[in-house]
C-alpha cells in the first residue's frame, strides 16, 4: 500500500506543479477550494443520478466531477488548505463512491454490491477515526471509469462486468480494512 500512497502523492505533486496557474485563476474569480469541492459533489451526485438511465449525461457529469475534484486540491494547495476543507473533500468523494456502489447494486440486483458498499463505508469510517492517517485505497475514480467503460457494452454480460468492478472494490476495501487494523494495533502499542 505504501507504493499506492507514494503514487497518489506523486500525482498530487504533478497536478499542483502543472495546474497551479489554473488554481490561482479560480482564486482570483473567488472560487475557493471548498466551493470547487461543492461543485464536485453536485457533479458527482448528478452522475450517479444519470447512471444507467442516460449514458451521455452520466459521462459528462462524471468527467466534470473528476475534474472539479482534481482542481479543488490544486486550489487548496496554492492558497491555504484547511482541516475542514480536507475532511469536506474526503466526505464528498466518499459519498459519491458509496452511491455508485449502491446504484450498481440496484441495477444488477446483486447483494454483493451492498456488502462491498458496507466494507467501503467501514474503511472510510476507520480512515476518519484515525484522522486520515490509516491506510486506505480510494477507488471512486476507478469505479466511475470502470462503469463508464462497461455501460456502452450492449451485451447481456454487462451486469457481470459491473460485478467485476464491485469485486475489485471488495478486494481493495478488505485489504484497506486489514491494513487499518494493523495500523490501529501498532498505534495502540505505542500509546
CATH code (residue 66):
1.20.120.1760
Residue 1 has pLDDT above 60, yes or no: no
- Pick the closest to residue 166 from 92, 94, 104 (CA basis): 104
Rounded to an integer, the average pLDDT of 57-67 is: 94
CA distance 61 to 179: 33
Between the two ends of the chain, the Cα-to-Cα distance in Å is 24
As a residue count, the chain comes to 191
Total domains present in the chain: 1
Q: What is the pLDDT of residues 94-131, one digit of tens each?
A: 999 999 999 999 988 889 999 999 999 999 999 999 99
Q: What is the pLDDT of residues 140-160, one digit of tens each?
A: 887 788 777 767 665 566 777
Cα-based distances in Å from 88 to 38, 40, 121, 128, 146: 9, 11, 16, 11, 25
With cut-offs at 50, 70 and 90, classify the pLDDT of residue 191: low
What does pTM read for this prediction?
Answer: 0.85
The predicted pLDDT at position 154 comes to 53
The more confident residue out of 28 and 17 is 28
CA distance 105 to 107: 5
The more confident residue out of 3 and 33 is 33
CA distance 108 to 73: 34
- Its domain, for residue 76, covers 2-190
The predicted pLDDT at position 155 comes to 55
Rounded to an integer, the average pLDDT of 166-190 is: 90
Half-sphere exposure of 115 (CA within 13 A, CB side): 11
Mean pLDDT of the chain: 87
Amino acid at each position: 500500500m505504501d507504493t499506492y500512497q507514494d503514487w497518489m502523492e506523486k500525482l498530487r505533486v504533478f497536478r499542483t506543479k502543472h495546474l497551479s496557474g489554473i488554481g490561482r485563476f479560480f482564486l482570483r474569480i473567488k472560487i475557493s477550494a471548498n466551493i470547487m469541492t461543492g461543485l464536485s459533489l453536485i457533479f458527482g451526485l448528478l452522475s450517479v443520478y444519470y447512471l444507467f438511465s442516460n449514458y451521455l449525461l452520466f459521462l459528462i457529469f462524471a468527467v466534470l466531477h473528476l475534474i472539479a475534484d482534481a482542481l479543488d486540491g490544486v486550489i487548496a494547495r496554492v492558497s491555504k488548505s484547511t482541516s475542514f476543507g480536507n475532511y469536506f473533500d474526503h466526505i464528498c468523494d466518499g459519498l459519491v463512491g458509496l452511491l455508485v456502489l449502491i446504484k450498481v447494486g440496484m441495477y444488477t440486483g446483486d447483494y454483493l454490491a451492498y456488502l462491498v458498499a458496507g466494507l467501503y463505508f467501514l474503511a472510510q469510517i476507520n480512515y476518519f477515526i484515525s484522522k486520515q492517517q490509516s491506510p486506505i485505497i480510494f477507488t471512486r475514480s476507478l469505479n466511475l471509469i470502470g462503469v463508464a467503460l462497461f455501460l456502452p457494452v450492449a451485451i447481456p454480460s454487462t451486469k457481470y462486468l459491473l460485478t467485476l468492478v464491485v469485486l475489485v472494490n471488495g478486494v481493495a476495501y478488505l485489504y484497506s480494512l486489514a491494513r487499518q487494523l494493523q495500523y490501529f494495533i501498532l498505534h495502540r502499542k505505542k500509546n
